[in-house]
Structures are given as C-alpha cells and as structure tokens.
Chains A and B, each alone.
Chain A
C-alpha cells in the first residue's frame, strides 16, 4: 500500500521554526512506523533525525507522537493506525532538540528524584533474601517500565508544569515502595507527598493509554496516594 509519512522537522542550525515534510512510500500493513522512518531517512532524506535502538519495544528510545498519540514507533504497525496518512511528531513537554529528538534530561532528573534504587541497609544473607511469589507479584506491573517517557509526556499536568515528577517517576517509586524487601518507602513517600508529587495526578488516564508496556499507571499512582494517606502499604 502507498502511505504518506508526514514528519515534524526542526533543525536548530537552519530553521527559525519547525515545519513538516511529507514522504510518500510503499509500505506493508505489518511495517512498523520505525521501518517507514528508516526508509525515509535511508532513501529519501538522510537528515531526518530520531532515536531508535532495539526496534521491538523494549529499549524505550523511540517514543513519539504518532497520529496524535504517544507510542513507540517500533511497536506501532501501519495496520494499527487504520489510515495511510501517518504523522509523526516529538513527544510534548520536553525541549525539542532536532526533528523527533527531545531533551530527556528533565525526565531523567525526575526519575532520579524518587531514589529509584533498592534500599535495605541490613546485612544481606549468604543467599537470596526470601520473597513469596505473592509479595513479588505485588509490584510486578511497575517493574516493566522502560523509561521511554510516553506516559509523562502525555500528561496535561506535566505539560502545565514540568516540576511535576510525572507518571514515570511515580511508577519507578511504586516499584520499590511495594517491594517487601525494600526499606526506603518512607523516604520516597515523603518526596511524593509534595506539591509536585502525586497530587498533580488528576486521574486523566492519558499515561495508562500511552504506556507501551501496558502498565496500569493510574492505578499505581492511586496506590501511592493511598499509602501516603493511610501510612500503610497494602
């Protein structure tokens, strides 16, 4: 089938303001949007710039807006879109550096703010710390995060104020708060119990829809809110 790929373009060395370029090409319904971007870059215009690596939805490099929705270009097939006009634009709320490439540093700053690492200062046993399958299951969903930013940059609260930590940071806090082996929950809940913490979430569900890993993000944020309100982790 013939498709038209319309790409957001901005080169800070040349352009005063962004524009769009359209590329016509033959595509299979099962082609990934990333395949189309590669085709356009490889055979029509080598200046098109975007990040990508694994090409199958696990590395988190190629989050972008595809026909208005935050998605991974490597996990979106032409047939999923149901149309042959495809528009790709950078994710919103982060500074645009070139074409589809945005500055991810503010996103990673928010990630680092929630102490996203295991905390347990007790001496470790000779073998593994024990954890029941049920306790392991408690935080399974939030271990899936690949830090692609699709959720955070779909969130109107984040667009309004990028001091809001955003869904991804809260997901990564959740992953440790509800890990029975971890002892840092109080510290993390204090960070999230802040003007720019969980209460900026107004349960709009954009994040949950955007997540390419299908993490129930709004639910995870709700669980963190409840833990703050009740002081209990259950």
Chain B
C-alpha cells in the first residue's frame, strides 16, 4: 500500500473534474484521480452544445435561459442555483473560447448557436438559438480543451486509478482509497478536501447512451458513508437513441430542423396533446413520453419499438416552411445536404457505421434511451456536499457535474445545460475546495485507512458462489428499463424493487474467474456492479414512493403533477435494511409554478 498527500483530491476527469482540477490547482496542491485516461471520459460523448444567452444569432437574455430551465425542471429545480448557473453561462463560455475551444462560427466570426429543446424567446415562445456548438462534437471539444489546459498547467494526474472509498475522520473528509489498475496495489490519498466528479449511472438501464464507465461510483461511495442521494427518481430518457443500441443522436438534429415521424408518416409532435407550439423542440421528457405513447398506440414504424428521426433536406425544408421558420436575417430557413453534413458530421458517421443508413438519404430509426441523472449527491451552489434537509454542509466533501444534484435540473434537464453545469459547478467546487483547504489542517488518518476497501475487494475476489456478474447485470438492466423507465406504475416499480433486492442477495454469491492483480478488470466490473445495484435500489424506491408525475418521472397511475404534496426534493439514505427517505423544500426566487405546456 502506498500513501500520498495532497490538499485537494478530485475524483474523475471529465468536464467537471478537469475544471475542478484546473481551478483547485491554482492555489492548492491538487491531484486528479481517474479510472480512465482523462480524455476517455464521457463528457466527450456530448454532442449538441452548451447553453448560454450570448445572443450571437438573435436576441436572447439570461433571464429567458433561467426561466426556461426552471420550467424545464418542472419547477423542481432550485431557482437560486438556476439563476446562478445561467448568469455564469456567457462568461464561462467565453472562458472556454479563450482556452482555445474551437467553436463553430457565425459569418461575423462569433460563436455559432443553434436551437435546442425547451430553449425559447420568452416573449414570442419561439425556439431561440442558445446552444453554443462545435459541429456535433461540443463535449469532445470541451473535454479535449480542458485536458489540454491541464497539461499546460502541469496538473497532477493519477490515470487508471479506481476510487474505492472515502476516508472520513471527525465527520470531515480525510482522503480517498484507490486501486491502481495496472498493479492492483491500493493507494491512499490523504487530503483535506475531496471533490467527486464521477459522472452518471446510466448503466443501470438496458438501452442507454452511457459509457460502460458510467457506474455512479461517487454516489455509491457517499451513500455508504451515510450521505443521502437526492432526487434519484428523476433520470432522463433522451428521445433519440439509435434503435436497439441506445447511441445518442443529438437533439441538435431537431435543432437543425429534423422531425420525428410515426408509421403513418405524421410529424406527431405537432399533435395537440403533445407540443403544438414548439413541436419537436419540446423538452426531452415530453418528447420521450410522446414517442412512448405513439409506439403504445401501434404507431411505431412497422408496429415496432422505434420511430423515425428525419433530417433529409426535403423533409427539413418542408416543415420549416410550414412552421414559418426563418434565418436571423428574416429569410426563410432552408438547408442543403451539405449543410447537414457540415453541422452533423458525427451523427452521419454513427448512422452509417451502426445502421448502414445515410441520414441525408434515409430517416434514422430511434427510440428513447437512458441518458442523464438529474439526481445525485446533494450540493449547494458552492459545490459543497449537504447531508440533510437543513442543507448542513459536510466539511471537505464536494461534488460537481452529473454525479451531483445542486439542483439545477430539477425533474428534467434541458439539453445543453449539462455541459454548462459541468464547467460552472466544476469551477465552483475547485475554487471552494482549495479555499477550504487553505483554512484547515489535515485530519489524522485512521490506523488502517484502506481496511474497508480491502475487505470489500476481498469479499468480491473470494466469493465462491456460482453467479456470473454479467448475468446479474443483464437482469438488473432489463427490469429497470421495463419498470423504472419512461413510464412507470406502482406494480412495475414494486416488482423492480423486489428484483433488485433479489439481485443484491445473489450478488453475494458471485464467482470471479480472474484472481490476478494486474489489470483485473473483472474485479473492477464486479465492484462497479455493486454500485449500480445500490443505485438501482435507491432509484426504484425513490420512484415508487413519489406518487405524482413530474418531469422525467411519469406514472400511469398518478398522471398529474401534485405540487401540494410533492413539490419537494427526495433525499434517500441507503441502510442495511433498505432505503430511508426524507424530503427537503425546493428553493423559489421569483418563478411561480405553472402548468407546463410546450
């Protein structure tokens, strides 16, 4: 076992972790630990854009971005946090540009912006160009740019180190325990402050846009330390994943004028019961539900579980004309095949590779796919982790990015707000953790800080049952996709909770083939599955208990939002005998809850 000492430890090296590392390392001795090489992080898969009211293409205002985000959250987002994020947005996008991020450009040489779901001109209700983009690889550019800046600034990295545990002494952070994948050796990182930037947990579901690495490690670790997880029932299903594979097709496709089409050839989002005003550019929860209902009504393509996303120029131009869509200069909006190619090159590549479909010639078969965790480790706007309904801060523990719940997304996140969340709150966590570290001493390390992690690994390694982790994982993903997915019912979720508990029991009787120490990826995968099972249980119980429909949490049996009873954040604690729930109030500033219509 090796021991290192840093003032600030950042766990995770996606957008939030790199931003936190960049800022913390300016004033504190900092290391970034990541189970992947930093540039492998899932931020790199984000496509469409980062939201900021720059007004480069047409009039836009920060207050509109704020209101759209509040509305998108179905009023569950904390309004002080949303105001903060949207006000920070223009400045932080310029900061990224100054770091060299190669945004696409307008004719005047400014950062190009495109429409995205739920982002509107609040006066006209028409979609507004707010998503700052770099073709359809905005996340890739953010991840690369931030890593480049870390190289420039000599940020210390421990690549391919898997975090296993947090060390807590006197109720404060004292460091983390990790395993070096190349050697299997445990490393203790003694620290004053720990920032979790460990990303999402979409691997709980069968069809997902998420990477294999998205196993919610930070949430699982904090749950095991008695820290609650907030609003876990709210998990976003992105409307457009490649059929059967779940690979993300950016909302930017619809931003460029693409439309969803059912088996009858109808552009169904325009129906009165869905989103007659903004149609295909409604919020993601609304679109995913509409797709689900279309398929349920037998209007999936050929009666199957998919619909078409059509971005062929003739289709785009037809519906743009019907909608009266115009360019910023007032001329009618039209596109050519070359425009589509230049704005959505990666989407076209994915479709050709995985479907043999060229989207300029044929429509893309798509289905809703598990995408983004609105919930996570509860934090305040400073990135500090808060552990109860009174928002009591746990000293030295921070979280940022998808793993956290500030909450800026409430029950449904708007597209482009995840990349914004990463950089805004990654920076906050980095700055504030470093400042905290300056004013505090190291907590003494316990006698055997790696003890619990070592025991946990030993249990997995030495377990001599007959269960394969791949079988348990497959069963978990299936039951969660079927019953804790786009639409939910009491019976389905009850079944899911029972099934997850059964799987947790069976997980105690696994058998691993790999007994080695060098790159024992099977051991790592088993540990990750343990995290996913804990998170699945917390998610299913939180969802089962919330008897209303709000944002991404849609129930057949309670179809209405119920502000009287449920305008509150869920806090879930993982205990030996199950999940304990409590609730905390939503923060309001000036936006009164209204019925949500798009």
B98 CB within 8 Å of chain A: yes
User: Contact: B468 with A54, CB < 8 Å?
Assistant: no
User: Contact: A60 with B40, CB < 8 Å?
Assistant: yes
B575 CB within 8 Å of chain A: no
B535 CB within 8 Å of chain A: no
User: Contact: A59 with B41, CB < 8 Å?
Assistant: yes
Give which listed residue, A59, A139, A175, contacts B45 with CB less than 8 A: A59
User: Contact: A14 with B516, CB < 8 Å?
Assistant: yes
User: Contact: A12 with B518, CB < 8 Å?
Assistant: yes
A6 CB within 8 Å of chain B: no
Segment from B116-124, B145-153, B298-306, B331-339 that makes contact with A: B145-153
User: Contact: B100 with A77, CB < 8 Å?
Assistant: no
A97 CB within 8 Å of chain B: yes
B351 to chain A, nearest CB (A): 11
Q: Once bound together, how far apart are the Cα atoms of A130 and B41, in whole Å?
A: 29
B309 to chain A, nearest CB (A): 16
A177 to chain B, nearest CB (A): 12
B589 CB within 8 Å of chain A: no
Segment from A44-52, A82-90, A154-162, A202-210 that makes contact with B: A44-52
Interface membership of chain A positions 3-37, coded 1 if the CB is closer than 8 angstroms to chain B and 0 otherwise:
00000000111100000000000000010000000
Q: Once bound together, how far apart are the Cα atoms of A61 and B34, in whole Å?
A: 14
A55 CB within 8 Å of chain B: yes
A57 CB within 8 Å of chain B: yes
Give which listed residue, A52, A140, A145, contacts B212 with CB less than 8 A: A52
Q: A11-B516, A53-B212, A77-B354 are contacts. A136–B104 as well, Cβ < 8 Å?
A: yes
Q: Once bound together, how far apart are the Cα atoms of A158 and B65, in whole Å?
A: 50
Q: Return chain A residues, CB-CB under 8 Å to B39.
A: 59-60, 146-147
| Chain A: CB-nearest residue to B470 | A42
Q: A60-B40, A147-B39 are contacts. A118–B522 as well, Cβ < 8 Å?
A: no
A187 CB within 8 Å of chain B: no
Give which listed residue, A46, A108, A120, contacts B522 with CB less than 8 A: A46
User: Contact: A129 with B98, CB < 8 Å?
Assistant: yes
Q: Return chain B residues, CB-CB under 8 Å to A128.
A: 94, 97-98, 103, 110-111
Q: Which of B54, B111, B514, B517 has the most CB of A within 10 A?
A: B514
Give which listed residue, A75, A97, A104, A147, contacts B519 with CB less than 8 A: A97
User: Contact: A47 with B100, CB < 8 Å?
Assistant: no
Tally A residues with Cβ within 8 Å of B.
62
Q: Which of A110-125 contact B (CB under 8 A)?
A: 112, 115-118, 120, 124
Q: Return chain A residues, CB-CB under 8 Å to B103.
A: 128, 136
Give which listed residue, B99, B140, B211, contacts A55 with CB less than 8 A: B211
User: Contact: B514 with A47, CB < 8 Å?
Assistant: yes
Q: Which of B42, B212, B245, B468 has the most CB of A within 10 A?
A: B212
User: Contact: B353 with A57, CB < 8 Å?
Assistant: yes
Give which listed residue, A43, A75, A131, A175, contacts B109 with CB less than 8 A: A131
Q: Return chain B residues, CB-CB under 8 Å to A30.
A: 354
Q: A13-B516, A132-B105, A136-B105 are contacts. A56–B247 as well, Cβ < 8 Å?
A: yes
Q: Once bound together, how far apart are the Cα atoms of A179 and B36, in whole Å?
A: 29
User: Contact: B100 with A176, CB < 8 Å?
Assistant: yes
Interface membership of chain B positions 517-537, coded 1 if the CB is closer than 8 angstroms to chain A and 0 otherwise:
111111000000000000000
Q: Once bound together, how far apart are the Cα atoms of A133 and B512, in whole Å?
A: 54
Q: Which of A61, A128, A140, A214 has the most CB of B within 10 A?
A: A128
Q: A42-B468, A56-B247, A98-B518 are contacts. A47–B182 as well, Cβ < 8 Å?
A: no
Return 7 A-B CB contacts under 8 Å, by A number. Answer: A11-B518, A43-B468, A47-B516, A50-B521, A54-B45, A124-B94, A127-B54
B interface, CB within 8 angstroms of A: 36-37, 39-42, 44-45, 54, 94, 97-100, 102-111, 134-135, 137, 140-141, 144-145, 148-149, 151-152, 182, 211-213, 245, 247, 346, 349-350, 353-354, 468-470, 512-514, 516-522
Q: With A53-B212, A55-B211, A118-B148 given, name 9 new contacts (CB 8 A).
A: A46-B512, A57-B350, A117-B100, A117-B148, A136-B103, A136-B104, A140-B102, A146-B39, A214-B349
Across the A-B interface, the 9 shortest Cβ-Cβ residue pairs: A118-B100, A42-B470, A46-B513, A130-B109, A117-B148, A117-B152, A46-B522, A124-B98, A47-B514
